[in-house]
Chain A
Amino acid sequence: MKAAPLTYHRAESIPHAIELASRYDGAAKLMAGGQSLMPMMNLRMSVAEQVIDISAIAALRDCHLVKDKFFLGAGVTHAMIEDGRVDDPTRGYLRHVAGGIAYRSIRNRGTIGGSLAHADPAADWPAALRALDAVAVIEGPEGERQVPLAEFQRGLMETCLGAGEVLKGVLVPRLSPGARWSYRKFCRKVGEFAHSIAAVVLDPALGMANVVVGAVGGKPVRLAKVSAKEDVVGEELAASTGVDPASYEFQLHRTMVMRAVAEALGK
């Protein structure tokens, strides 16, 4: 199918995107690579009267150090991260995640910010960056604000982005030499949306011990305990997600978390 009629706007800068988004508040959709939005529009699952294309904004691909953190522009594509065309301050974690997203032709256009703002429960970046304690940097009519990823996504395809606001990028920590990570997802076919995602980042020097499970229907969920034991992981999943403990999905999540934690712990 084809997308419903729409009016296309090309934003030339971040202030221009904010101005357009404010002007068409409620009727506008920001589009970066469009790799999730365009399929949904072609299927008429999503209708946007006004599409604001932010993919030509060079400033959104800006990456730089900010004190002890690294700022990744929202317009950086998965392929740029996969190829190492932008620095990876996470000791290979971001590159690993990026290289596993969908297919290369999608990764060439899809962006890290687009994935976060789209907030699909089964997408990679929301879970992967949640496990890094990343912080969303948002620019809007009232200026800049920062929101930890734990609060950025509210649920299924819902974020805290308000009227006229643009996700400018994310702040990620620079992992220490002693950091360990694992990122595992279960797909029946390479490149499809995951049925389960387990992201584990352990960095004692930064006081970071995150076990995050994704593709659980809403936003990614952090488990309170770092354990690869079946009963402990099961209890944590039952306490933190709404997945039925008697279901196949529950067993799948439990297995993925156990494997990822075991890998990160070097077992």
Chain B
Amino acid sequence: MSRIDMKVNGDAVSAEVEDRMTLADFLRDRLELTGTHLGCEHGVCGACTVLVDDEPVRACITLAAAVAGREVRTIEGFEEDRAMEVIRECFSEAHGLQCGYCTPGMVITVRDLLQRGRCADAAEIRAELAGNLCRCTGYAGIVKATELARDRLKGS
């Protein structure tokens, strides 16, 4: 067991965790932040994407103990975030989701792409989102939602 201290969505968290516990399981099972979804559990599907010190990482292949002392932001931590508000609107309008399982990881990744200016056109968006799998939409709605969010955020 390891004692870890970190910040999660702005709050200080201190816990005793099993050494093999992943960040995803820690968030879901210990902190009950179940918005972080687990799909493949080996780093392929992107559903568990969260921010660690503002950078997207895969919570299923990151040990909770390895991010001790750092700042984690999950899908529950974007209530005051203007970019995320717009991205959510656009995903809703452009049918960027159906079942919603991939959506938390998808929108956190899209927010990072927008911040880094990596969504010039549909081709770039598709390449950049290759690490987030969606089994419902065929991606057309997701790409459209991302373009819409890019244009809307540029205008605001």
Contacts and interface: CB of A to CB of B under 8 A. Distances in A.
A58 interface: no
Contacts of A102: 131
B20 A2 contact: yes
Interface string A1-42: 111111110100000000000000000000100110011001
B94 interface: no
A109 B62 contact: yes
Contacts of B63: 8, 31, 34, 38, 51, 53
A8 B19 contact: yes
Given A53-B63, A106-B43, A8 B130 contact: no
B55 to A, nearest CB: 4
B46 A103 contact: yes
Contacts of B58: 35, 105-106, 109
B130 A38 contact: no
B20 A109 contact: no
Contacts of B66: 8, 10, 31, 34, 53, 55
A160 interface: no
B50 to A, nearest CB: 9
Nearest to A8: B19
Interface string A99-122: 000111110110000000000000
A79 interface: yes
Nearest to B70: A56
B74 to A, nearest CB: 14
B2 interface: yes
Interface residues of B, number: 34
B97 to A, nearest CB: 19
Interface in B34-48: 41-44, 46
B20 A108 contact: no
Given A35-B61, A53-B66, A104 B131 contact: yes
Given A2-B41, A105-B56, A38 B20 contact: no
Contacts of B44: 39
A38 B43 contact: yes
A10 B63 CA distance: 12
Nearest to B64: A8
B103 interface: no
A191 B131 contact: yes
B20 A4 contact: yes
Contact of B2 (A8, A38, A55, A189): A8
B84 to A, nearest CB: 17
Q: Which of B18, B20, B62, B132 has the most CB of A within 10 A?
A: B20
A190 B57 contact: no
Interface in B4-63: 18-20, 22, 25, 41-44, 46, 49, 52, 55-58, 60-63
B128 interface: yes
A2 B44 CA distance: 15
Q: Which of A42, A103, A109 has the most CB of B within 10 A?
A: A103
Contact of B55 (A8, A31, A53, A108): A108
9 contacts: A3-B20, A3-B22, A6-B19, A8-B19, A31-B63, A35-B58, A104-B128, A105-B55, A105-B56
Given A39-B43, A108-B56, 15 more contacts: A3-B22, A5-B20, A8-B66, A10-B65, A10-B66, A34-B61, A34-B63, A35-B43, A38-B22, A42-B60, A103-B131, A105-B56, A105-B109, A190-B130, A191-B131
Interface of B: 2, 18-20, 22, 25, 41-44, 46, 49, 52, 55-58, 60-63, 65-66, 68-69, 109, 112-113, 126-128, 130-132
Shortest 3 CB-CB contacts between residues of A and residues of B: A103-B131, A190-B130, A38-B61
Interface of A: 1-8, 10, 31, 34-35, 38-39, 42-43, 51, 53, 55-56, 79, 102-106, 108-109, 189-191
